[in-house]
Each structure stands twice: as structure tokens, then as C-alpha cells.
Chains A and B, each alone.
Chain A
Amino acid sequence: MKKTLHIDLAEVFGEPLSPRTDSLEPRISMSNADYEHYENQNGQACLQQFDGMLGYINILDLHLPGDIVIPMQVTRSDMHIFYLVSEDRAIQIRDIRKQISYSISCNRGRYFYLTIGDYEIHVPAGRYTLVNFYFRGSIFRDGNECPFQFLHPLIHAYRQQDPHVWCSIDFRAGVRTISLMKTIAAKIKKGDLDSEVNILWGIKKLIQLSKEKIFEEYDKILESQIKSKEAHAAIQQATAEHGQDFKLEDIAWQLGISMDYLHQLIQLYYGQSPQELKIEFMLDLAKKYIVDGMRTDAIAYELGYSSPSSFARFFKKKTGMTATEFFKRYTQDYL
């Protein structure tokens, strides 16, 4: 396949070093591919490229002390997959002509339909591996694209030769994806006829894996989501009925889960501990009662406090003002 994506590393790092040095070890090694290593004050980079008839593979490893911008050129509109393996920050692919940015986050992948033009890759300081496969959109034919809904707009754009860049929903690229990419990289060899079959096999496997990842992340309703919603509703209900006079352990028992798991669920989906959630519901109720003009002792009773003074202490501690002050401030602000 003709090389249509040119990553201009020389612009940032100068000419490639020769002979080959391995001071930056690639995370995914393609031993049979073309290899270029760059190094200067901007950092280190190594680019491995493999040219197959049905697809082209670029693996770019970067180790950077500061932020850089790498120019990139696309000379034919094609479908691309990008994966970013890193623990640092997201990178941006920027369409210079249209001034539009697309991001690829850490340990995630994304499909692009890139049109002819100049682009920039904005990479912050850190250690990155950017894997890029590109292939002809014409591999999708006779409706074989049907199961891959996330690719439909891109395939449509490819068929229409749309002048705009399109990108798909992004998805996780974890251990399975990396091991699949390593398998593909290990199977290809220059001058070996099997390499072509292996590239097509690899692209097909990556597309199927990304479909699975997208389903898991975006469409599948997890048991934990249902449970966390139930737990949230149960805590709200218990606060409305008993005020502070109930135990979170009872909620966990009622839902048939452990206290630790309840904590984990609420933290994951609501960003708070169950205790904080309970306090938030109690404060909401208390404020509502105060605004309604209820007396402090009646509110204390409603919220399950043994004495008005303990409720007053709770309210003062959480809001920094007494019930009377809150009422006065509310009436000043809204009346």
C-alpha cells in the first residue's frame, strides 16, 4: 500500500541516527519493519513502519522532556486506527486547515477517516507509544460493515470522499489489544507472502475487538450500575423516612451486598461515600424544612435527632451557619 501518512519527525528531532541505537526500547517491537531512531534536546523518538499491500503500520515511540508538535501529512483519504499506550496525558491530532482538534486519550483507541491535508500531533511531555494502522475503506463492502455501527459514519464519509475528517467513539485499549498488536507485529515479515494475510487478519481482529470494547463500555448495562442506582434510591428513601436514625449496614443488607461493596459502588458512580450521600440528603431535607418555616425542634424530630441541640450542632457544622441564619439569608436572597 502506498505510504499516505507522513510523520515528519525530522522537523522536531533532526535527521535519524545511524547506525541504529536502541536507547529507547519500543514497547511493541516489529523486528522486520523499517526502523528510524531520532534523538536531540527535544527528546527521543523511534518510528517503525511496515508497508503491506492491504494496510500500513506505524509504531511511534516517544520519550519527551517537554511538549512538542509533530507535523503530519496525509496524501490520500483513508481509514486509520490510532492507539495510544501511555500513562501520561492525551495527545491531540489537529487539522491545520480547519483548526479542529481530535484527542486520543491514554490507553485508548479511536478510528479516523483522515482527508488529504496537513495535520499536527500535539504531544505533552512523557513516554508514549502511538500505534497507527491505515487501510483502504473499500475492505468494507456488500454490507459486511453492518455489525460495526461505530464505523458507519466513517465508511459513509470514505465512500462519499467527504472533505471533512471523521472520528469514531473512543474505546479502551488494554492488555488484550496490546497483546493482539504484538502478535500482529511479530507475524509480519518483509518479502513474506503470509504478511499480507496476517495484516488483514490483524485489522479484522482489531475491528472486532474494538466493537466488543465499545459494547462493554457504552452499551452494556452492568449489574453494578443497577445496584448503585438502587442503593442511591434506598439511602434517599431511608433518609426521608427515618432521618439520621438508620444504619447504612441495613441498606447493604437490604440490597444483599457487603458494606465495602456499597461503599465502592456509591464512590464509583456518585463520587461520594455512602455516609456523605446520607449527610447530603439530610441537609437537603433540613434546608427544605427550614425554608418551609418549620421550627428547629420539629425539624430535629423529623430528622430523627434526640434533641434540637444535636440537630443544631450538625447543621452548624455542615453549613457553617445556624438554622435561623440560613433562613434569614435565604429570605434576603430570594424574597
Chain B
Amino acid sequence: MKEIIQKTVKFFSAIGKLLIAEPADKSKIISRKVCGKYRAWKYGPLSISIEMAASYFPENYQLDEEVLKAANAAGNIYSPKGMLYFLLSHARKIAAPRQPLPIKTSYSYVAWQMINLSKVNIVTTLTKHPRLIEIREETLELSASKAEILILSSGGDYLEVNHLLSKIDLTHKYVIICSVFEEAFIHDHILYRVDRKITPNFKSENEYLAFMDEIIREATTIPLNI
């Protein structure tokens, strides 16, 4: 009897070791988590593509089942990027009403991964604006959560800005996305509120600084409900 118990214990500990010994591949872990979260196998032949695309969604965002079903029914979307775009454009957007910033002499901002297509250096020029103060905390999320104006890139083809925006409260912030994507694409594929979309193509420093004045003016006014 004792031997049987010992053998059973050995057997289970060996199985346990096998599970622990599995390489901790991050993408595998994420896709397994997503697989568990959405149970994509339920949605048919495109389940792998859906799983991969869904893994690019923020962790605290829950995709609706109808969207996953529609993605599978759409057919012919076999690339993860194509599927991601489909899911993002059909996914429910997170409503976050904008509250105007109080009128004061200076406003804090965070600039993240902005690309530049103009002669003006759009990141360093911001420091020359008399009413803008850059916030730099330990992490990007913390800086963004304390800033009043966010000037962010779209985060590339996979729109990683969604991850950053998922971690902060946008109610008392003005969100600018600086990207070469079309405005409609940005509004369709970003899950959170975007107040302005700009193309990083400014002709002069003065034009850029004047644009920031306009942003401050807009950020401090009350949005019309009608």
C-alpha cells in the first residue's frame, strides 16, 4: 500500500515538473490566456486568427461575443493584422466624456513615440511652449495618468496606444493622436476617446506652437452637448 502511495506521489510530481518545465514563452502564455478568456474555438474555423488578434487587445477590455462571431463569419481574414483591424473597428468603444480643463497658466503634457515628417522637431518644440510642462514619472502610465494633455502616437500597425489608454482615466484629459493614419481609421481602431488627430507635418515651429495654443483653448472649453 505504502509503495502504491509513493508511486502515485512520484507520478503526480513528475507531471507537475513537466508542467513547470514548459518554456515560459510570453506569446504562448498570452494566447493561452486569450484563448481561455474568449473561448475562440467556439467561433469556428478562424479561431486561431481570432485568438491571435484578440491577444493584441488590452487586458481589461472585454470583446463582445457578437464581434467574435461576426469576425468568424466575415471569412477570408487569415492574417492576424487583418483580423485585428476587423475586431478593432467592430469592437465597442469605451465611452469617456471629456471634462474641460480648468483655465490656468500652464498645463502638463506627455508625448509618446511621436514620429516626425516635418522639419520642426515636434517633441522638443513642445518644451518651448510657455504654457506646457512635461511630466516625467517612473513609468509611462503614471506620467500619462498625471498629465492633462496627451500627445501620443498610434503605436504602429498594431495600435498599441490602446494599451496605454486602457490604463488611464481620460475624463479630465485632452487626447491627441499624432499619426500618419487617416483620421477615420484612428477613430475606428482606437477603443478610447480621441479628441484630435494630427499628422506630424508642421511647416514651422510657430505654426506648431500656434496649434498647441488652439489645443489649449479647445481643451479648456466646455464641449457642446448638441
Q: Chain A residues in contact with chain B, CB under 8 A?
A: 90, 92, 94, 98-103, 105, 122, 164, 167, 169-170, 218-222, 225-226, 228-229, 268-272, 333
Contacts and interface: CB of A to CB of B under 8 A. Distances in A.
Contact of A269 (B141, B167, B169, B222): B222
6 contacts: A90-B172, A99-B167, A102-B169, A103-B172, A170-B172, A272-B217
Nearest to B206: A320
Contacts of B60: 98, 100, 164
Nearest to B219: A271
B142 A94 contact: yes
The 4 closest A-B pairs by CB, nearest first: A101-B145, A271-B217, A271-B221, A100-B167
Tell me if A's interface is mostly helix, strand, loop or mixed: mixed
Contact of A167 (B146, B167, B169, B224): B169
B65 interface: no
A294 B52 CA distance: 56
B144 to A, nearest CB: 8
Interface of B: 59-60, 97, 99, 139, 141-142, 145-146, 166-169, 171-172, 203, 217-218, 220-222, 224-226
A101 B150 CA distance: 15
Given A103-B171, A170-B99, 6 more contacts: A100-B141, A100-B168, A122-B146, A170-B171, A218-B225, A333-B203
B63 to A, nearest CB: 14
Nearest to A120: B142
Contacts of A167: 169
B225 A225 contact: yes
A270 B223 CA distance: 9
A95 to B, nearest CB: 9
Contacts of B167: 98-101
Contacts of A103: 145, 169, 171-172
A271 B220 contact: yes
B58 to A, nearest CB: 10
Contacts of A268: 221-222
Contacts of B171: 103, 105, 169-170
Contacts of A225: 224-226
Contacts of A164: 60
Nearest to A276: B217
Nearest to B103: A271
B193 to A, nearest CB: 13
Contact of B168 (A101, A169, A228, A229): A101
A226 B59 CA distance: 40
Q: Looking at chain B's contact residues, is the secondary structure mostly helix, strand, loop, or mixed? A: loop
Contact of B146 (A92, A221, A228, A229): A92
B65 to A, nearest CB: 16
Contacts of A102: 169
A46 B59 CA distance: 37
A157 to B, nearest CB: 11
A255 to B, nearest CB: 15
A102 B144 CA distance: 11
A172 to B, nearest CB: 10
Contacts of A122: 142, 146
A333 B216 CA distance: 27
B196 to A, nearest CB: 14
Contacts of A105: 99, 171-172
Contacts of B145: 92, 94, 101, 103
A299 B28 CA distance: 65
A206 B217 CA distance: 34
A103 B59 CA distance: 20
A169 to B, nearest CB: 7
A105 B218 CA distance: 19
A220 B226 CA distance: 10
A221 B169 contact: no
A94 B139 CA distance: 12
Contacts of B224: 225, 228-229, 269
A106 to B, nearest CB: 8
A103 B146 CA distance: 8
Contacts of B221: 268-271
A98 B222 contact: no
Contacts of A271: 217-218, 220-221
A310 B72 CA distance: 65
Nearest to B141: A99
Contacts of A94: 142, 145
Contacts of B139: 99
A41 to B, nearest CB: 22
Nearest to B102: A106
Contact of B166 (A90, A100, A170, A228): A100
Nearest to B172: A105
A101 B97 contact: no
